[in-house]
Amino acid sequence: MNDIQKKALQSAMRMLDSIQAKYAIVVGDEKFGGLSVVLPKSPKSNQCPYPRNELRTYLKPFVDVLNEGDVGCIPLNGYEPKWLAQAVATYAGQIWGPGTYTTCTTEEDVQILRFVPEQEPVSTQEVLI
Protein backbone atom coordinates (compact mmCIF):
# COMPACT_ATOMS: atom_id res chain seq x y z
CA MET A 1 0.00 0.00 0.00
CA ASN A 2 1.45 3.36 -0.93
CA ASP A 3 1.45 6.46 1.29
CA ILE A 4 -1.66 8.09 -0.17
CA GLN A 5 -3.62 4.87 0.30
CA LYS A 6 -2.45 4.57 3.92
CA LYS A 7 -3.50 8.19 4.53
CA ALA A 8 -6.97 7.55 3.07
CA LEU A 9 -7.34 4.39 5.13
CA GLN A 10 -6.34 6.15 8.36
CA SER A 11 -8.80 8.94 7.62
CA ALA A 12 -11.64 6.47 7.02
CA MET A 13 -10.81 4.57 10.22
CA ARG A 14 -10.74 7.84 12.25
CA MET A 15 -14.21 8.73 10.94
CA LEU A 16 -15.57 5.28 11.78
CA ASP A 17 -13.95 5.36 15.22
CA SER A 18 -15.45 8.82 15.90
CA ILE A 19 -18.98 7.45 15.53
CA GLN A 20 -18.02 4.31 17.50
CA ALA A 21 -18.68 2.07 14.52
CA LYS A 22 -17.57 -1.51 14.47
CA TYR A 23 -15.84 -2.37 11.25
CA ALA A 24 -13.40 -4.58 9.47
CA ILE A 25 -11.42 -3.41 6.49
CA VAL A 26 -9.38 -5.82 4.44
CA VAL A 27 -6.71 -4.46 2.13
CA GLY A 28 -4.71 -7.17 0.40
CA ASP A 29 -3.78 -9.60 3.17
CA GLU A 30 -4.05 -7.00 5.97
CA LYS A 31 -7.06 -6.55 8.24
CA PHE A 32 -7.98 -3.36 10.09
CA GLY A 33 -10.71 -2.76 12.64
CA GLY A 34 -12.22 -4.61 15.55
CA LEU A 35 -14.53 -7.05 13.80
CA SER A 36 -13.25 -10.50 13.06
CA VAL A 37 -13.09 -11.44 9.43
CA VAL A 38 -12.19 -14.74 7.85
CA LEU A 39 -10.02 -13.93 4.89
CA PRO A 40 -10.76 -15.97 1.78
CA LYS A 41 -8.18 -18.61 0.97
CA SER A 42 -6.44 -18.30 -2.33
CA PRO A 43 -8.13 -20.63 -4.78
CA LYS A 44 -6.34 -23.87 -5.55
CA SER A 45 -5.64 -24.58 -9.14
CA ASN A 46 -7.96 -27.49 -9.86
CA GLN A 47 -8.13 -26.76 -13.53
CA CYS A 48 -5.98 -28.83 -15.82
CA PRO A 49 -3.32 -26.66 -17.45
CA TYR A 50 -3.41 -28.64 -20.71
CA PRO A 51 -5.81 -28.12 -23.62
CA ARG A 52 -8.91 -30.31 -23.64
CA ASN A 53 -8.19 -33.89 -24.82
CA GLU A 54 -4.42 -33.32 -25.13
CA LEU A 55 -3.60 -35.81 -22.36
CA ARG A 56 -6.18 -38.32 -23.61
CA THR A 57 -4.75 -38.16 -27.12
CA TYR A 58 -1.28 -38.76 -25.69
CA LEU A 59 -2.17 -41.68 -23.39
CA LYS A 60 -4.64 -43.60 -25.61
CA PRO A 61 -2.02 -45.52 -27.63
CA PHE A 62 -0.46 -46.78 -24.39
CA VAL A 63 -3.74 -47.79 -22.73
CA ASP A 64 -5.82 -49.08 -25.64
CA VAL A 65 -3.44 -52.01 -26.29
CA LEU A 66 -3.65 -53.39 -22.73
CA ASN A 67 -5.36 -56.72 -22.18
CA GLU A 68 -6.45 -58.18 -18.86
CA GLY A 69 -3.37 -58.71 -16.67
CA ASP A 70 -1.15 -56.36 -18.70
CA VAL A 71 0.92 -53.53 -17.28
CA GLY A 72 1.34 -50.32 -19.25
CA CYS A 73 3.86 -47.53 -18.70
CA ILE A 74 2.95 -44.07 -19.97
CA PRO A 75 6.07 -41.82 -19.98
CA LEU A 76 5.53 -38.40 -18.40
CA ASN A 77 7.05 -36.77 -21.48
CA GLY A 78 7.02 -33.33 -19.82
CA TYR A 79 3.48 -33.60 -18.44
CA GLU A 80 2.85 -33.04 -14.74
CA PRO A 81 2.46 -36.45 -13.04
CA LYS A 82 -0.71 -35.41 -11.20
CA TRP A 83 -2.56 -34.50 -14.38
CA LEU A 84 -1.34 -37.43 -16.46
CA ALA A 85 -2.23 -39.93 -13.71
CA GLN A 86 -5.69 -38.39 -13.37
CA ALA A 87 -6.22 -38.57 -17.13
CA VAL A 88 -5.08 -42.22 -17.24
CA ALA A 89 -7.44 -43.17 -14.40
CA THR A 90 -10.37 -41.30 -15.94
CA TYR A 91 -9.86 -42.88 -19.34
CA ALA A 92 -9.36 -46.40 -17.96
CA GLY A 93 -12.49 -46.08 -15.84
CA GLN A 94 -14.50 -44.99 -18.85
CA ILE A 95 -13.39 -47.77 -21.18
CA TRP A 96 -13.02 -50.69 -18.75
CA GLY A 97 -15.22 -49.68 -15.82
CA PRO A 98 -14.48 -49.11 -12.14
CA GLY A 99 -12.40 -51.61 -10.21
CA THR A 100 -10.68 -52.99 -13.32
CA TYR A 101 -7.32 -51.23 -13.02
CA THR A 102 -4.88 -49.58 -10.64
CA THR A 103 -2.31 -46.88 -11.31
CA CYS A 104 1.03 -45.85 -9.84
CA THR A 105 3.01 -42.69 -10.54
CA THR A 106 6.81 -42.74 -10.60
CA GLU A 107 9.37 -40.08 -11.48
CA GLU A 108 9.46 -41.28 -15.09
CA ASP A 109 5.98 -42.53 -15.89
CA VAL A 110 2.44 -43.45 -14.89
CA GLN A 111 2.00 -47.21 -14.65
CA ILE A 112 -1.33 -48.94 -15.03
CA LEU A 113 -2.25 -52.56 -14.31
CA ARG A 114 -5.43 -53.86 -15.91
CA PHE A 115 -7.22 -56.38 -13.73
CA VAL A 116 -9.23 -59.36 -14.80
CA PRO A 117 -12.79 -58.26 -14.01
CA GLU A 118 -14.45 -60.05 -11.15
CA GLN A 119 -16.98 -62.64 -12.20
CA GLU A 120 -20.44 -62.22 -10.85
CA PRO A 121 -21.20 -65.10 -8.48
CA VAL A 122 -23.53 -67.59 -10.09
CA SER A 123 -26.74 -68.06 -8.17
CA THR A 124 -27.51 -71.66 -7.19
CA GLN A 125 -31.02 -71.13 -8.51
CA GLU A 126 -29.62 -70.49 -11.98
CA VAL A 127 -27.53 -73.68 -11.88
CA LEU A 128 -30.37 -75.94 -10.84
CA ILE A 129 -32.45 -77.26 -13.69
pLDDT tens across 66-80, in order? 999 999 999 999 999
Q: How far is CA 22 from CA 7, 13, 33, 59, in A?
A: 20, 10, 7, 57
Confidence (pLDDT) at 125: 58
- Name the DSSP letter for residue 43: P
Percent of the chain with pLDDT over 90: 61
Confidence (pLDDT) at 59: 96
DSSP H or E stretch at residue 111: strand 109-114
The whole-angstrom separation of Cα 54 and Cα 56 is: 6
Specify the range with the lowest mean pLDDT, choosing from 20-34, 35-49, 61-75: 35-49
Whether residue 35 is predicted with pLDDT greater than 90 in this model: the reply is no
Other beta carbons within 10 angstroms of residue 116's beta carbon come to 9
Confidence (pLDDT) at 44: 65
Please state the rounded mean pLDDT for residues 81-107. 94
